[in-house]
Structure 1
Amino acid sequence: MDRRKFLTISAITAATAAAADGSKLGVWKTLGKLGEEDGATPVDGAKWYSAEAAGDGMAFEFKPGTLLRQRCLAADMLLDGRELAVFQITLGEGAKGRELTFRFGALNQCSFRMRLDLALVDQSQWMSDRDGAFLKPTFGGDRVDLAKVDRLAFTILRKGPQPVRWCMTDLRILPNLPPKLTEPVLPKGVLLDEFGQSVLLEWPAKTRTAEELKARIKGQLDAAPGQSWPEGFSKWGGWKARKLTEPTGWFRTKQQDGRWWLVDPDGYAFWSAGIDCVRVDVDARVDGIQAALKWLPELPEYADAVRNGDRQRSGSKTVNYLAANMIRALGREGWRDKWARITLAELKRLRFNTVGNWSEWEFAAKAAFPYVRPMSFRGTRCGMVYRDFPDVFHAAFEQDAAEYAAELKSTANDPALIGYFLMNEPTWAFSSELPAVGMLYNASICATRQELVRFLRGKYDSDAAISKAWNTAVVFDKVAQGKWQGVLPPEAMPDLRAFSAVMVERYFQTISKACRQVDPNHLNLGMRWQGVPEDWAVPGMKSFDVFSMNCYQEKVPAETVNKIHSLVKMPVMVGEWHFGALDVGLPASGIGHLKNQEDRGKAYRYYLEDAAAQPNCVGVHWFTLYDESALGRFDGENYNIGFLDVCNRAYEELGRAAISSHERMYTVAAGQDKPFADAPRHLPKLFL
């Protein structure tokens, strides 16, 4: 046995022993058609299981309070096969009580330690940090009381076409968080080749040699000067056949004859066909699993391709294989500017007219290519009251808002900027709880709770009055401070819903006003909501110019767009959508799942042209320019959602479809042509 193998086995054995501290959860009953297999496993003390369908798994029952004063549920696991599987743990209070869900995925052929931190059953966090092959652990459902939890289900939530096979040790209850795995088992060897491609999978367009890679990228650079938009596009990518206003120098919105448009700086109708993450971004997070790499970029030549830690994940390490491939082909000096020339030319070839969110927008600004820019409110002074919802009545909230808006100074006079997104999918909006409810449970004292008391005193003149209205014993002092204990009654929800509306309105109106003071020229594109906002949240959103939402359905639901328009009286833009497949070396398709690349092209046309035909929709932005890493990005997502792969190879089927739709989108939007109607068959979703 060589030294490396000996150390790996020793580390795994020690780690497994650490995970075995505590007690087994107990006997379980089979859910669905869960299968058990005998035989050796790569993980010491584990057993093989298989599942044919979502919902297959194990059900545990135990005495209420079994998990009380415990810190963690844990097991060591390894996912076999070559496709993503998503697991779910459900904790329940009684047969019909509240249920918390905990979801996670796994890298294939790499052992990991599943850890469910029981301190987070209060729903204070939506997602825990990725740990090696343990991918995107997220919380959902209800908050639960561990004193009442008496059942647990461990099931398959999502899977690919093949049965799921995995091995795992007994699920154990631990008084402390067990240590992370530092040397995972890799039964098939390395997982990524020297170009950042999967070693486990084969496909016809896989890049085989460095010479092939270099020739492709250098050829793209040589061809870049010849790429341009069609004759019918304005200098900004607008529609020269329809002029809506005199030139203003800025992007604007306009409703004409019942149809909403964006208007480009020269006054032409503009419909935003955008693509997100136009940046050198195929990061593979490798901390804890560096043994899964065939090649790690050497320093200093590949310094631009390696990052150690960031603001949110101090111990992380990522390798950007796209950057490494660009350096290989273009040299260490000036490669990023050359990448920008290649990429903006590719966008024009594909007839995109917008560089979308999360992009290296500075390159777009320099090239006068229309773009949007993202913003993110941090609230460093005021703090948060529930997940990422700030203490909006804190004395320093407006100062935080001013600091947040100050970022817009650099682009306030740039005509190529369409507008800015205030934020993206805030995690408080993913919760089943109202912001005011989450605040009562999670922020023991804050200025917004004091404002809630003033709000309630305006309606109730005594503790007795509010107790009667809420149908529970409550005093104003309990509302003012101290984490709420127990279940809030349904009778309290109308008041807490009304105050949540106050919170949201103050939040969005304050930051929108601050942004307008710094930048009066550009569009406020909203906050990229998921779906239709609740009615109580709408007043705060009327400070936007465009309502943005992320919509990962087969098409943009017209009823959703029209309802939003009726509520906020503004046009709608889709900030994210995509479709992927399993035929090009990625273990997961993405949120939309199709059979192959040809169907991805059909799905693109069907979605975009249907959206263009809707009079209240002014654009859709695809997520993302590049596939994600097969090893998983910062949180573990590893989807086939790009127009290009990690080796900068274009997906020609998708590209041809995009060109066709982008060249027709204006006539479709104007009602002169019918939208593409040959929708492909969508497969069960496979994503984290």
Structure 2
Amino acid sequence: MSLSLAGTFCNVPEGIRILTVAEDHFQMETASDGGGAALDISQYAPDIWNGYEYLTADIYHECHDVLVIIFKFQDTDGRAISVHYGVLPHVTTRLCFPLAALNGEKLFLERFPGVLQSVLRGDSFVDRSRIDGLSICTIPSVSARKFEVSGLRLTQSVPDFTYEPKPYVDGLGQLSWKEWQGKTRSAGEMASALHGELAQMRPDADSNGLTSPFGGWKSLRFPATGFFRTEFDGSNWWFVDPDGYALFSAGMDCIGPSSEMQVTGMEHLLPVLPDREGPYKEAWSGHGYSPFIANLIRAFGESWREDWRELTERRLKAWGINTAGNWSDPDFIAGSKLPYVYPMQSFPSTNAVIYRDFPDVFSHEYEEKALEFARQLAAFKEDKRLVGYFMRNEPQWAFVDGLNLTEEMLRSPVPFVSKYRLIAWLEDKYASVGRWNAAWGTSFDSFQDLLDNEKAASGGNEARRNDCTLFNRLMIRRYTEIPARACREADPHHLNLGMRYAWISNEDLLEGCEAFDVFSINCYQLQPDRELIGRISKRLKRPVMIGEYHFGAADAGLPAYGIRAVATQQDRGLAYRYYVEQAAAIPELIGVHYFQLNDQTVLGRFDGENYQIGVVDVCQRPYQAFVEQMKMAHRNMYEVRTGRIDPFTQAPEEIPKTGF
């Protein structure tokens, strides 16, 4: 069913022009500060959304970078969910939104052919039978942009994805239609540069006498325990290495030879790739193809892995990186001298989940899975180079601001063990149904009525909200403490570095986090959030570390710049230095890990991210202006931390992001 667009626009904000509108398409032009236009869908009966499974549309634009286009759905209760799509320039892309996703159970959607990342934001769900608003918009950009939306329709099935072939990357994996300073012209040029750099770096000149064998700072020492630990010296929190030396962890995430490129669904944009067998076999995997590994094979042949490891170890030490961060290559870690962190796998879950990836935490199943989860630490129990472990990364349930898991549980028909525990908790608190009804302003016949999701989801007042909030905290505390306790029993030597929350969407997320040795958060800002870090540390009496941050720039060879962006590579370097030195000046913060070593690929990794955020590009060429400021930041960070010099204050000007 086509959604007629003729005469449907309303609430068009200033800075937006609707250029053409026809029965099945329109063109929109936005000023550089972005915006969007609302579609008036009141002409359609609300129940049409129940009769179809997908909303589809074709998008075309010729902007300078990836277009982030947003479809926002709103229901009559004011709840709203937005889906953010990344759309490449100069090619038509067919979007396909599964309407079932309005239940909010997924954060990242299935990646359809031609599309980059698809991410849900907003409330926990939208009532599909009561949709009364649909808008299409984009985000701010460095310049005005124009795009066309056509073929907007509702369908019962996934549409056909037939695209015209248009090679989008060259044989080295670089963006084919863009020029920039530092673009590699040939495989020979790339090989010559890498061989020359490796030859110059072979002598073991990385030891300057200022650091311990575990990377600690020799100018400050505490009692040694033989493993990494934390220490508060009265002014600052520190990591302490196994020999007792202080460490501020300047880490690098994803140290590995590869950033993979999605192949399935992107075939129309690819050049002829090497065969899956033969010399380039290792560039292929189940997830796709790595132009990074293919280029290393071109440069070094069969010894590519050993040569890459040696080159990368020397680079990281020369740059001042002192920790191998999350998701780094196990082979690299095994042969490296750097301390490292370990990302644990398969965080405990249950067959029935309350919302997204939040399990039924009061079930025995959760306790059993936590014990199983912790057993993976046995292999690391005596490893002195291991700083600690992250239990997980960015829980998806925590992306919804103000989420109340108790309310989500009551909305579900599933008889969770946690729901029975809630009933018992309420019975203990109120003693009788009458007192409970009087408090909640309800007319339940029994506490067991909460097992009926239709009855449980209706009504309520401030007392109900308060009770749901209290039980929400109990569930989050158990979510945290059960696996943390199991990990401590399995490995008493190493630090529990937490869960790397994406942000603190709700203060309830801090429940139970005293079980960690270090609270970790990913902080994509121009500088660390000093107030938040101090507040968390004060509440938990624990130090804080930042597991991810990055900066991209618009002057290189990728059409998306990441979550924080600046204009040039020089500005990227200044942004890095500003971030690290500002971080070193925060007493409660004991480390920052940059995401990531390599650029992402033009056509995106498995989920579609294709950001220019690496220290090296697809041809293994470092962004030298960026590197020089990295080195400066790492030379200064201990002097800043101990108050001998002031942190760098020249923050570069940000440009609008192209993050999804």
Match of 2:252 among 249, 259, 275: 275
Q: Distance in 2 between matches of 1:559 and 1:355?
A: 27
Q: What does residue 55 of structure 1 align with? A: 35
How far, CA to CA, are the matches of 2:317 and 2:432 in structure 1? 65
Alpha-carbon deviations, 1:319-350, whole Å to 9, x = none?
Answer: 1110111111121x342232222111111010
1:448, 1:399 → 2: CA distance? 15
Matched, 1:328 2:289: no
The CA distance in 1 between the partners of 2:449 and 2:237, in whole Å, is 49
Report what 1:306 is aligned to: 284
Distance 1:159 1:404 in 2: 42
Deviation track 1:159-184 (CA, whole Å, cap 9, x = no partner) reads 4323222222242223x232351x32
CA distance in 2, matches of 1:140, 1:490: 27
Q: Residue 385 of structure 1 aligns to a residue in which SS?
A: strand
- Counterpart mapping for 1:350-369 below 5 A: 350-369=319-338
Partner of 2:470: 498
- 1:90 aligns with 72
Number of the residue aligned with 1:147: 129
Deviations 1:229-258 (A, max 9, x none): 43312222211111122x321111000022
Distance 1:414 1:136 in 2: 37
Counterpart of 2:564 (choices 582, 586, 592) is: 592
Give the Cα–Cα distance (whole angstroms) in 2 for the partners of residues 149 and 468 of structure 1: 34
State whether residues 361 and 371 of structure 1, in contact with CA within 8 Å, keep that contact through their aligned partners in structure 2. no
Per the TM alignment, residue 459 of structure 1 is displaced from its structure 2 partner at its CA by: 1.6
What is the deviation of 1:386? 1.2
The residue that corresponds to 1:10 in the other structure is none
Deviation at 1:488, TM superposition (A): 6.2
Counting only pairs closer than 5 Å after superposition, residues 232-251 of structure 1 correspond to structure 2 as 232-245=210-223, 247-251=224-228
Does the CA contact (< 8 Å) of 1:203 and 1:583 recur in 2? Answer: yes
In structure 1, what is the Cα distance between the partners aligned to 2:375 and 2:391?
A: 13
Structure 1 CA distance for aligned equivalents of residues 454 and 184 of structure 2: 56
Contact 1:86–1:159, Cα closer than 8 Å, also in 2: no
CA contact (8 A) 2:352 2:416 kept: no
Residue 608 in 1 paired to residue 580 in 2?
yes
- In the alignment, does 2:410 pair up with 1:440? yes
- Percent identity over the alignment? 35
- How much does 1:292 deviate? 0.8
Amino acid at match of 2:447: F
Residues 471 and 100 of structure 1: CA distance in aligned 2, closer, same or farther (over 3 Å): farther
Residue 285 of structure 1 corresponds to 262
Given the superposition, is the C-alpha separation of residues 478 and 211 from structure 1 closer, same or farther in structure 2, using an over 3 Å criterion?
A: farther
* Corresponding letter in the other structure for 1:630: V
Question: Closer, same or farther in 2 for the Cα pair 1:164/1:459, shift >3 Å?
Answer: same
Partner in structure 2 of residue 622 of structure 1: 594
Distance 1:522 1:320 in 2: 34
- Which residue of the partner structure matches residue 426 of structure 1? 395
Distance 1:416 1:490 in 2: 53
Deviation at 1:379, TM superposition (A): 3.6
Task: Say how many residue pairs are matched.
Answer: 649
Query: How far, CA to CA, are the matches of 1:58 and 1:159 in structure 2?
Result: 17
Deviation at 1:267, TM superposition (A): 0.4
Question: Which of 149, 164, 169 is the equivalent residue of 1:185?
Answer: 164
Tell me whether 467-476 or 622-631 shows the greater mean CA deviation: 467-476
CA gap 1:72/1:26 in 2 versus in 1, 3 angstroms: farther
> Are the equivalent residues in 2 in contact too, given 1:574–1:620 (CA < 8 A)?
yes
- CA 1:591–1:266 in 2, change beyond 3 Å: closer, same or farther? same
Q: Does the CA contact (< 8 Å) of 1:90 and 1:101 recur in 2? A: yes
- Of 430, 446, 450 in structure 2, the residue corresponding to residue 479 of structure 1 is 450
CA distance in 2, matches of 1:380, 1:93: 31
The alignment's C-alpha RMSD in Å is: 2.3
Q: 3-state DSSP class of the match of 1:438?
A: helix
The match for 1:659 among 597, 616, 631 is 631
Structure 2 CA distance for partners of 1:325 and 1:45, relative to 1, 3 Å:
farther
Matched residue SS, 2:130: coil
Aligned 1:667-686 pairs, distance under 5 A: 667-686=639-658
For residues 155 and 588 of structure 1, the distance between their equivalents in structure 2, rounded to whole angstroms, comes to: 18
CA contact (8 A) 2:251 2:323 kept: yes
Whether contact under 8 Å (1:382, 1:392) holds in the other structure is no
Distance in 1 between residues matched to 2:196 and 2:21, nearest whole Å: 52
Q: 1:503, 1:221 → 2: CA distance?
A: 53
Give per-residue Cα distances to partners, 1:637-684, cap 9 Å, x unaligned: 111111111110001111100111101111111111111111111122
- Match for residue 530 of structure 1? 502
Deviates most, 423-432 or 278-287: 278-287
Q: Does the CA-based 8 Å contact 1:217-1:326 persist in structure 2? A: no
Inter-partner Cα distance in structure 2 for 1:490 and 1:678: 50
1:525-559 Cα offsets, whole Å, 9 max, x none, are 01111334744333311100001010011111211
- Relative to structure 1, the CA distance from residue 229 to residue 473 in structure 2 (aligned partners, 3 Å threshold; closer, same or farther) is farther
**The one of 59, 63, 67 aligned to 1:81:** 63
1:389 is displaced (CA, Å) by: 0.9
Q: Deviations over 1:503-524 (max 9, x none)?
A: 1111211111111122111100
The corresponding residue for 2:523 is 551
Pick the aligned partner of 2:604 from 632, 636, 657: 632
**Distance in 2 of aligned mates of 1:557 and 1:488:** 39
Which AA in structure 2 matches 1:624?
Q
User: CA–CA distance in 2 between the matches of 1:352 and 1:488?
Assistant: 55
**Within-5 A mapping of 1:93-492:** 93-94=75-76, 97-142=78-123, 143-156=125-138, 158-174=139-155, 176-181=156-161, 183-185=162-164, 189-226=166-203, 227-245=205-223, 247-300=224-277, 301-308=279-286, 317-331=287-301, 333-379=302-348, 382-432=351-401, 433-442=403-412, 444-474=414-444, 475-480=446-451, 482=453, 489=460, 491=462, 492=464
**2:543–2:588 CA contact under 8 A, matched in 1:** yes
- SS of the equivalent of 2:605 reads coil
For the structure 1 residues 490 and 556, does the alpha-carbon distance in structure 2 shift closer, same or farther, using more than 3 Å as the test? Answer: farther
Cα 1:25–1:393 change in 2 (3 A) is farther
